Copies of this chain bind each other. A is one copy, B any other.
Amino acid sequence: MSKIPQATAKRLPLYYRFLNNLNHQGKKRVSSKELSEAVKVDSATIRRDFSYFGALGKKGYGYNVEYLLGFFRKTLDQDELTDVALIGVGNLGTAFLHYNFLKNNNIQIKMAFDADEEKVGTKIGEVPVYHINDMEEKMTGVKVAILTIPASEADGITNRLVDQGITGILNFTPARITVPGHIRVHHIDLAVELQALVYFLKHYPLTKED
């Protein structure tokens, strides 16, 4: 279906955002070296990444910002809007709701769910909060969910999402949820990230570069 390496695919949204920044700053051209300094990715890696999409740059010149941006807009389906539901309106969930994804993105958090009656019926950052009991009813058509609930709730909610027909879950709970093979789950484990950083600091001390 797609020949783009996964490692490359993960960097695309990052490139896209920085190109957008450059464009807003009025910059007309950019070299892989400049972009490398901005996004902290090796310049050869950037050139390689771009090359999977064809020859987007010009030798001796670099890349035309506007052209590149337009290309990525199409490639990343920035025109096509993806609706997302957020489950769990705690602090982490609220942080997501306040993030204005629509500004530079193709993603819209359309609705949120929580069990707290005080939150149900309110809007947070334009996003309506419904009761978790109404999840299946309200979520028709929404295929992606962000899970920002307590770990103890993870399995139960996951099963309900699976039954409802979800295709992708961004899981922020420390639980490693189990789903059928056709559903994609990305785990982001904040505690693990912090522990990994500390481990690296102790065991892989940096001396000069990188």
Contacts and interface: CB of A to CB of B under 8 A. Distances in A.
Interface of A: 1-2, 4, 6, 9-10, 12-14, 16-18, 37-40, 76-77, 82, 84, 90-92, 94-96, 98-99, 101, 105-107, 143-144, 146, 167-168, 170, 174, 176, 178, 181-184, 186-210
A195 B2 contact: no
List of 10 A-B pairs having minimum Cβ-Cβ separation, nearest first: A13-B195, A91-B95, A181-B209, A92-B95, A91-B94, A13-B192, A168-B201, A2-B203, A182-B206, A40-B176
Contacts of A146: 194
A197 B17 contact: no
Nearest to A167: B201
Q: Secondary structure of the A side of the interface?
A: mixed
Given A91-B94, A203-B2, A208 B182 contact: yes
Contact of A99 (B38, B167, B191): B191
A134 to B, nearest CB: 23
Of A98, A194, A200, A202, most B-chain CB atoms within 10 Å: A194
Given A95-B91, A99-B191, A190-B99, A208 B196 contact: no
Contact of A188 (B16, B76, B84, B193): B193
Given A1-B205, A40-B176, A186-B193, A198 B106 contact: yes
